[in-house]
Amino acid sequence: MKIKNWTIAFVLVCVALSACIPGTPQENQGGNTLFVGPFWKPCEDVSPRLCLEVKESNDGEWQLFYDSIEGFVYEPGFTYQLEVQKETVENPPADASGQRWILVKEVSKSPVEMPKLDLTGTAWQLVSLNGAAPAENSRVTLEFIEAAKFGGAAGCNSFFGEYTLQGLEFTTEGVGSTLMACDEPQMSQESAYLSALGSSKYLYIVEDSLLLVSADGSFLEFTSLVVE
């Protein structure tokens, strides 16, 4: 009888200790707090793309977040406090993350007051189209010469159109261009640029950088130009 009781006790102790061993499923059930910033930032891991900015405490440093959070629907223009579950992925593919993040609870979603922008009179030069630099000897610009109207150089042709801006939401219409033919890769770049510009949904400016983001995640990154 004593042997049997010792056996039961030993099994119970082992079960209790296993809950404290790193990497066990019990550890992964705990919540982790993430604060999420109000807009994406360009980043690069396997390929260039957009990343969220996150921190683990209110007074922490913002860091690029290369993973996704299952169940979390992100809307720019808000800061979030999330409770998330973090799990270790065993033997992930070479180009995949070793962590899995799952939304447990959206603790808060707070709108960020964005300054009202007047783009009129500003000009910008493209530095990145979905993370790729413009073709050599190719100058691509975006100029807001008049209220609600834009234009610029697309690398080969000049272009024009109209826009509306409400907060972060940026929409275009009537985008057109001249019809001069140029060599590759300028023509393919120009087509991709005008397509991304025409499908833009959000506009965000930080210091001397402007970022346009489409609903499908494609993005254009510009740096400020001095209007002469």
Q: Does residue 72 contact residue 90 with C-beta atoms inside 8 Å? A: no
Tell me which long-range contacts 161-168 makes (C-beta under 8 A, separation of at least 24): 161/197, 161/198, 165/117, 165/119, 165/203, 167/77, 167/114, 168/39, 168/76, 168/77, 168/114, 168/202, 168/203, 168/204
Q: Does residue 148 contact residue 161 with C-beta atoms inside 8 Å? A: no
Residue 27 is predicted with a pLDDT of: 43
Q: What is the pLDDT of residues 165-175, one digit of tens each?
A: 999 999 999 99
Q: CA geometry: angle at 219 spanning 83 and 211, to 5°?
A: 85
In the chain, what's the furthest Cα-to-Cα distance? Answer: 95
Please say if the pLDDT value at position 12 is more than 60: no
Please say if the pLDDT value at position 73 is more than 70: yes
Question: Cα(214)–Cα(194) distance, rounded to whole angstroms?
Answer: 12
Which run of H or of E encompasses 88? strand 78-88
Tell me which of 4-18, 123-137, 200-214 is least confident.
Answer: 4-18
Q: pTM, whole model, 2 decimals?
A: 0.80
Please say if the pLDDT value at position 8 is more than 60: no
Mean pLDDT of 105-130: 94
Q: What is the pLDDT of residues 174-213, one digit of tens each?
A: 999 999 999 999 999 999 999 999 999 999 998 899 999 9
Q: pLDDT > 90: what percent of the chain?
A: 71
Q: Which amino acid is at 194?
A: L
